[in-house]
Amino acid sequence: MTTTPETRPFRFGVVAAQAPTGAAWSDLAHRVESAGYDTLVMPDNVSFGHAVFPALAAAAAVTTRLHVGTYVLANDFRHPVQVAKESATLSVLSGGRFELGLGAGRPDSARENAMLGLGFDPPGVRVDRLVESIGIIKRLLAGETVTVDGPHHRAVEASVLPYGTEPQQVPILVAGGGPRMLRIAGEQADIAALGIPFSAEEPEALAAIDHVRSADRPAPELNMNLMAVGETVPRYLAGRLDPAALAAKGAVGVVTGSAEEMADQLRERRERLGVSYVLVGDELMEAFAPVVGLLAGS
């Protein structure tokens, strides 16, 4: 059964991976919060960027309203009991401002796995392992003591909540691009991150969203990244991305024009697609802030 969600308020976030010093990272977190963004999220890499849990804890410690999250945690890198323990701790210490994003690993992640002495299984195996991990993590965050002997993970009488701590309501984001991962996001997640190309047009986005909404449960919040804001693009795409041309084709990964025009584009996109949670990279943060000011919470 396909479920159609009611309109959700807009949320906006910034994706960042690193800063040269602790002071610079704290300053970034302050600026993200002051600009009206709702979240600061981090990708999970071995060789690039800061380690996610300590960096997110530092960001949470110097802010009061800002949510922090993984975008997304590579499931193969850690045992789910370890993930649940880290998540519960960060949720408690941040006052419930942590959001756990999970993924089965990027298609090009074999090198990162090798750094940890891990093999890189076929996609179907990695997705199966992710589903098993999500189930274990949810049970542990709910306060259960968990013993499992599954195809991918083992644990004996595992519990992760510090003494005297209530079960933690940690929102779970699942990122996916293929049909199976999108359906899993619809079945398991509070937030579904649509891993579609930024050049995708609305029919492709709608096809992905249909997979998410195929689950027989309330549809999760829908998330997308923007790769261009007006004429501003990330440095690594400079000269290789034409925002105006993409916008003319109806690409959902860009917004163009004045702040008011960009806000209108996102309102229309939310009406047609249901996407209400929008992320930009830290290089686009300042260019997008006026749009956040117009739409946040609306």
* pLDDT score for 285: 97
Of 4-8, 50-54, 117-121, 162-166, least confident by mean pLDDT is 4-8
DSSP-derived 3-state class of residue 7: coil
* pLDDT score for 239: 79
Q: Which long-range contacts (C-beta less than 8 Å, at least 24 apart) are formed by 195-200?
A: 196/224, 196/252, 197/253, 198/225, 198/226, 198/227, 198/228, 198/246, 198/251, 198/252, 198/253, 198/254, 199/246, 199/249, 199/251, 199/253, 200/251, 200/252, 200/253
* pLDDT score for 1: 39
Q: How far apart are CA 171 and CA 190, in angstroms?
A: 6
Summarised one tens digit per residue, pLDDT across range 19-55 is 999 999 999 999 999 999 999 999 999 999 999 999 9
From residue 42, give the alpha-carbon distance in Å to each of 52, 67, 143, 232: 6, 12, 26, 21
Summarised one tens digit per residue, pLDDT across range 160-184 is 998 899 999 999 999 999 999 999 9
Q: Residue 224 carries which side chain, given as an amino acid letter?
A: M
Phi-psi region of 230 (alpha: psi -120 to 50; beta: other; left: phi over 0): left
Q: How far is CA 219 from the centre of its chain?
A: 16
By the 10 Å C-beta count (0-12 exposed, 13-18 middle, 19+ buried), 21 is classed as exposed
Tokens of 295: 């739409």
CA dihedral 184, 189, 191, 194 (to 10 degrees): -10
* pLDDT score for 3: 42
Tokens of 292: 């956040």
